[in-house]
């Protein structure tokens, strides 16, 4: 008698296939939670919309018989038993929070593709050797509570709970109060949920895969990144009655620094990037010379030594502004994420997963930060990329096709199964 489930077991699950339609329907259903009129999502961490999508995920996982654990900073872990529960679980997932004008796929695809993996295995009655763990990390974006990747950072020991709880949004609301308000302060101590490896599926957020006609990026690492907060304090004065030579214009100094950040990035080769992404001017009136400016600087490079040189030039630029008449300039580094090299066995599992799916793939370094970067400090880790139309992300127009989403989910399933099989001899 033909026994497809028996064949799946004998082949290590090689003929298991995710359901593309079901995955797409999940993506579209959750996109309504915090959905924007322009078709994107505004689902800031620990907001009412975040609580809604967390509840949805919890219910979907428990319906599959998974055990849901939530830790003290809101990280969610759905546990599916394996044939050998003495083995450390294989984790996979990403995040459900978004930018204020975010798209439908950034982070969300990684979580919902992980859910589709669990649904596919459940439907087939297939048990992995090791247990599985679907993860939703808290506050990956850093859009509401800086820094980014806060939940995974606490899990990995980069930050502690007290630091996380004290983070404030622009309205003065603390992370700790916000997580209590939505009811997602779990009882598990941060870092107590352990696993043997982690895979994260994500959209590329860049143009490389699309430009080369590749469906899958095998992510070998993440470039280093450093964030700075710079404040400039001058003197507010009437714009019509204050001569140009007697001004302490904070915005003029800020403009010079913005130009220098651009020059720094150009000076260190095509892999270097520098961005001033946030700028606040006070009092922001048409006929008042700006008395104060606050801005952020984001520097990135795959080589930490080069990134250090970029930082040194930035600090020299900041110091050069201080002598301006009546101007005070202060700079603070608010985030430092070193370059990451992912685990060779996990990378091999992703390559194997893409090959098994017959998909064109290429190795790639992530230009963006991801939870996997922190998790790589404590467990073997790798990532899978699928294309972003036009390289666009952190934008309501962000687009990845249903076919590309399904391809990523299939590679994720294949990589998990390949890593699970290899674990018998690890």
Give the pairing type, strands 273-282 and 361-366: unpaired
- CA 364 to CA 204: how far, in whole Å? 9
Distance CA 117, CA 134 (A): 9
Quick one: how far is CA 4 from the chain centroid? Answer: 37
3-state secondary structure of 127: coil
Give the list of residues 6+ apart from residue 308 with CB closer than 8 angstroms, or none: none
**Partner residues linked to 47 by β-bridges:** none
| Half-sphere CA count of 394, side-chain side, radius 13 A | 10
Is 394 flagged in the annotation as binding? yes
DSSP 3-state assignment of 409? Answer: helix
- The three-state secondary structure class of 351 is helix
**Polymer length in residues for the chain:** 426
**DSSP letter, residue 354:** H
301 assigned to a ligand binding site: no
How would you classify residue 283: left for phi > 0, otherwise alpha for psi between -120 and 50, otherwise beta? alpha
Q: Is 141 annotated as a binding residue?
A: yes
Q: Which of 391, 360, 18 is nearest to 214 (CA)?
A: 360
| H-run or E-run covering 238 | strand 237-238
Q: Is residue 95 annotated as involved in ligand binding?
A: yes
Q: Which among 143, 127, 214, 221 has a CA at the least distance from the CA of 175? A: 143
The DSSP 8-state label assigned to residue 41 in this structure reads B
Asked if 193 and 77 count as a contact pair (C-beta separation under 8 A), the reply is yes
Cβ neighbour number for residue 99 with a 10 Å cutoff: 22
| 202 in a labelled binding site | yes
- The continuous run of DSSP H or E covering 79 comes out as strand 76-80
Q: Are 134 and 90 in contact (CB under 8 A)?
A: no
| Binding residue numbers for Zn(2+) | 95, 106, 141, 202, 394
The annotation places the binding site at 95, 106, 141, 202, 394
């Amino acid at each position: 008698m033909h026994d497809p489930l028996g064949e799946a077991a004998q082949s290590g699950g090689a003929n298991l296939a995710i359901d593309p339609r079901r995955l797409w329907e999940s993506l579209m259903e959750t996109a309504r939670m915090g959905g924007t009129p322009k078709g994107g999502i505004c689902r800031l961490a620990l907001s009412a919309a975040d609580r809604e999508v967390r509840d949805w995920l919890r219910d979907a996982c428990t319906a599959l018989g998974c055990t849901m654990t939530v830790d003290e900073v809101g990280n969610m872990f759905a546990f599916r038993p394996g044939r050998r529960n003495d083995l450390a679980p294989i984790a996979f997932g990403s995040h459900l929070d978004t930018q204020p004008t975010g798209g439908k796929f950034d982070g969300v695809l990684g979580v919902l593709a992980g859910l589709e993996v669990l649904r596919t295995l459940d439907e087939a009655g297939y048990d992995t050797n090791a247990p599985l763990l679907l993860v939703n990390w808290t506050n990956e974006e850093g859009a509401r509570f800086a820094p980014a990747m806060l939940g995974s950072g606490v899990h990995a020991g980069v930050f502690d709970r007290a630091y996380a709880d004290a983070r404030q949004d622009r309205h003065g609301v603390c992370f700790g109060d916000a997580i209590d308000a939505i009811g997602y302060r779990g009882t598990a101590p941060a870092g107590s949920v352990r696993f043997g490896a982690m895979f994260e599926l994500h959209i590329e957020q860049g143009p490389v895969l699309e430009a080369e006609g590749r469906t899958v990026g095998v992510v070998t690492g993440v470039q280093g990144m450093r964030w700075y907060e710079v404040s400039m304090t001058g003197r507010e004065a009437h714009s019509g009655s204050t001569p140009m030579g007697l001004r302490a214009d904070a915005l003029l100094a800020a403009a010079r620094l913005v130009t220098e950040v651009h020059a720094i990035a150009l000076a260190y080769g095509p892999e270097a990037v520098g961005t001033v992404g946030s700028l606040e001017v006070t009092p922001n009136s048409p006929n008042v010379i700006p008395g104060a400016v606050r801005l952020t600087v984001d520097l990135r490079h795959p080589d930490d030594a080069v990134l250090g040189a970029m930082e040194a030039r930035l600090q020299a630029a900041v110091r050069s502004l201080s002598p301006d008449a009546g101007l005070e300039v202060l700079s603070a580094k608010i985030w430092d994420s070193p370059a990451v090299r992912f685990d060779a066995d996990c990378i091999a599992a992703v390559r194997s997963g893409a090959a098994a799916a017959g998909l064109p793939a290429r190795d790639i370094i992530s230009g963006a930060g991801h939870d996997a970067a922190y998790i790589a400090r404590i467990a073997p880790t790798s990532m899978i990329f699928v294309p972003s139309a036009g390289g666009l992300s952190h934008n309501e127009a962000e687009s990845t096709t249903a076919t590309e989403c399904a391809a990523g989910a299939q590679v994720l399933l294949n990589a998990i199964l390949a890593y699970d099989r290899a674990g018998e001899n690890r």
